[in-house]
Amino acid sequence: MKRLKYLSLFLFFLSLLTPNILLAQKNSQGKLADKPLFRDPIFDGAADPAIIWNKSEKRWFMFYTNRRANSKNETGVTWVHGTRIGIAESSDNGATWKYRDTANINYRPTPEYTHWAPEVIEHKGLYHMYLTYVPGIFTDWNHPREILHLTSTDLLNWKYESTLQLASDRVIDACVIQMPDGKWRLWYNNEKDSKSIYYADSPDLYTWQDKGKAVGDRSGEGPNVFKWKNKYWMLVDNWAGMGLYYSVDMLNWTKQPDRILEKPGTGSEDGAMGGHADVIVSGDRAFVIYFLHPGRGKASSGNPTDSRRSLIQIAELEYENGNITCNRDKPVYIKLKH
């Protein structure tokens, strides 16, 4: 009887300790991320995120396409045009984000213009942006688009360097990483070739030579290339979730059988498929920061803003049997390393 009494007391105290032990384990992984992660307070149209560490301010910046989702009396797809790149910031290593500003892009050759899909990297103390530039505000998609190279010392004010000469006059969604030999590779979407993913190489981030098609088995956009688990991965928005390819040399790509973020989530404002994303590798962990249109997972309300608005969410990637998986319904505890 005495043993049973002591056992009961032990189990009682263990039940009190277990939640605290689990909480400590979770806290060691970081702070619980907001869900949704970020909504733009101006136009409510945040999309196409790109995350980078601001060295001087010691905080994370998120650059994003800002569509005019709440604008009235728009025709066709004019609401997807006519805005500058938005900036959000995080002072707690990626768990919470607040609106900061718009990027000051010092390149305005046309009276009306549109900025999409920023890619931002840092090299030797200088920030580089590869930006999709649309020379106007249009009712449909059949117009020129080009990729600009810009530089900055503060991530806020950007100097125009050049317009990249790529495979066509309809190119969008740049992604840039450094290769093992120190040179650079850029992937982008060539809309004139069935929206295939093309690539270009550079020795210095300023001069680029187009190399042709990288991936073209299925139309897609928003390529994002990252290294994780001893492989290079390419994430592509297939408009049916995110396709994944892997490679050891960044030239020959093998398609992973299953896409991620295709099935809607059950969390707050996460009930539609995910699209155009950035992946941040932090130590041995990796996080996908994606956008979605939460209103498109619901019955139509008749209000165009409900189907247009978009926001940013986050999920942690997992590696199982050589493939990447993602459970977007799991709470994300995050503490990004820089």
**Does position 16 have pLDDT exceeding 50, yes or no?**
no
Q: Are 278 and 289 a contacting pair, CB within 8 Å?
A: yes
Q: What number of residues does the chain have? A: 338
Task: Give per-residue pLDDT as tens, 54-88.
Answer: 999 999 999 999 999 999 999 999 999 999 999 99
- Tell me: do 252 and 103 sit in the same domain: yes
- Tell me: do 185 and 329 sit in the same domain: yes
Q: Are 132 and 69 a contacting pair, CB within 8 Å?
A: no
212: left (phi over 0), alpha (psi -120 to 50) or beta: left
**Does position 274 have pLDDT exceeding 60, yes or no?**
yes
- Tell me: do 129 and 2 sit in the same domain: no
Strand residue runs (E) in 157-220 = 157-163, 171-178, 184-190, 196-202, 209-215
For the chain, percent of residues with pLDDT exceeding 90: 88
Tell me how far apart the alpha carbons of residues 291 and 38 are, in angstroms, rounded to a whole number: 9
Phi first, then psi: what are they for 10, rounded to 5°? -60, -45
**Does position 32 have pLDDT exceeding 80, yes or no?**
yes
Tell me how far apart the alpha carbons of residues 156 and 310 are, in angstroms, rounded to a whole number: 23
- Tell me: do 24 and 140 sit in the same domain: no
Of 321, 330, 329, whose CA–CA distance to 246 is shortest? 321
- Tell me: do 133 and 6 sit in the same domain: no
Number of domains in the chain: 2
**Does position 233 have pLDDT exceeding 90, yes or no?**
yes
- Tell me: do 28 and 40 sit in the same domain: no
Residue 63 tokens read as: 């650059």
- Tell me: do 147 and 272 sit in the same domain: yes
**Does position 10 have pLDDT exceeding 60, yes or no?**
no
User: Would you state the pLDDT for residue 297?
Assistant: 80
User: Would you state the pLDDT for residue 22?
Assistant: 43
| Residue 3 confidence class, pLDDT cut points 50, 70, 90 | low
Q: Are 164 and 153 a contacting pair, CB within 8 Å?
A: no
Tell me how far apart the alpha carbons of residues 175 and 169 are, in angstroms, rounded to a whole number: 18
- Tell me: do 12 and 138 sit in the same domain: no
Q: Are 218 and 243 a contacting pair, CB within 8 Å?
A: yes
- Tell me: do 10 and 134 sit in the same domain: no
Task: Give per-residue pLDDT as tens, 157-166.
Answer: 999 999 999 9
230: left (phi over 0), alpha (psi -120 to 50) or beta: left
User: Would you state the pLDDT for residue 12?
Assistant: 47
Q: Which domain holds residue 163?
A: 33-334
Triad 91, 309, 301: Cα angle to 5°? 140
Average pLDDT, the chain: 93
CATH number at residue 256: 2.115.10.20
- Tell me: do 6 and 70 sit in the same domain: no
* Sign of the alpha-carbon dihedral angle for 20, 25, 27, 33: negative
Of 102, 161, 91, whose CA–CA distance to 126 is shortest? 161
Task: Give per-residue pLDDT as tens, 276-318.
Answer: 999 999 999 999 999 999 999 887 777 889 999 999 999 999 9
- Tell me: do 83 and 206 sit in the same domain: yes
The residue type of 323 is N
The residue type of 57 is E
- Tell me: do 110 and 19 sit in the same domain: no
User: Would you state the pLDDT for residue 18?
Assistant: 46
18: left (phi over 0), alpha (psi -120 to 50) or beta: alpha
Q: Are 43 and 66 a contacting pair, CB within 8 Å?
A: yes
